[in-house]
Amino acid sequence: MSDDAKKLRLFDTHCHFDFDVFAADFEHHLLVAREKGVERFVIPSIGAQNWQRAAQLAERFTSQIYYGLGIHPYFLQADSEKTLADLEQSLIHAGRECVAIGECGLDGVVDIPAPLQERILLAQFSLATQARLPLILHSRKTHDRLIYLLKQARFTYGGVLHGFSGSYQQARAFTDLGFKIGVGGVVTYTRAGKTRRAISQLPVESIVIETDAPDMPVCGFQGQPNHPGRLVEIFKALVSLKDMPALELSQQLWRNSCQLYGLDEERSAAGHEVKP
């Protein structure tokens, strides 16, 4: 490994490290990722079923793991109004490791009524405004509608559009509203021409990287659970797309990620702290 490679500090801005696939030997998976240069992680929650687990991991692995609290459109239920009330209470009692609202958003493919999705999403916009936290946004075939709702709500705390797949024009619509673009495994596939072109055109200041582990596999690892350690493969693809020195790009991405989540850039740089 070159001296420059040793200095790379990577931040997985969106990984579901709390999912069962990692639970049996979590510390091993964390070590594997850290050996690849991944120093920080944000766990976006999907609903009440994993708020506590995400918070517990962040409390245990301080300065490494952070989390978001939210309700994913996949998991909306008939009692989602009660879940919103529970979310508000969870935010009140959340510690400093809670750095975002999400994962929340819209999905044009799942069989969940659009009016319900939008109602719950707008409520989460309001909670994010109250808490002065950014949003972790999910959007599938709903970019235009999501942009409209963000403008209508006059949301000003920014966030990230996670797992971006789309055109340059769509990406810029979000960055114009103060959002970062979450670049994941899709850019490792040469067939993803439209998304790769969009990412190559975006200002590097508008980009963060993510794995969405255990989902969104990177090229060469199809059929396997994704892993935060594979963030380095996404980073390598981005180095090629942006035609930048690896160290310079990693430093910019680190700054972007820390800015996104309101974190000190230098905290925990020398290692990790684990609470018993």
Query: Is the per-residue pLDDT at 269 higher than 70?
Result: no
Q: Quote the CA–CA distance of 56 and 265 in Å, as a whole number.
A: 23
Contact predicate 143/107, CB 8 Å: no
CB of 4 within 8 A of CB of 248?
A: no
CA separation for the pair 63, 11 (Å, rounded): 12
- List of domains in the chain: 9-261 (3.20.20.140)
Task: Please determine, for residue 270, whether its predicted confidence score (pLDDT) is greater than 60.
Answer: no
The pLDDT > 70 percentage for the chain reads: 94
Average confidence (pLDDT) over 52-65 = 97
Whether residue 223 has pLDDT greater than 80: yes
Whole-angstrom Cα distance, residue 19 to residue 267? 26
Residue numbering of the annotated binding site for a divalent metal cation: 14, 16, 103, 138, 162, 212
Residue that is written with structure tokens 């969405």 in the block: 212
Output the known binding site. 14, 16, 103, 138, 162, 212
Question: What would the mean pLDDT of 218-235 be, rounded to a whole number?
Answer: 97
The label of the residue with tokens 């069989």 reads 111
DSSP-derived 3-state class of residue 28? helix
Q: Does 133 have pLDDT greater than 60?
A: yes
Residue for token pair 């979000």: 174
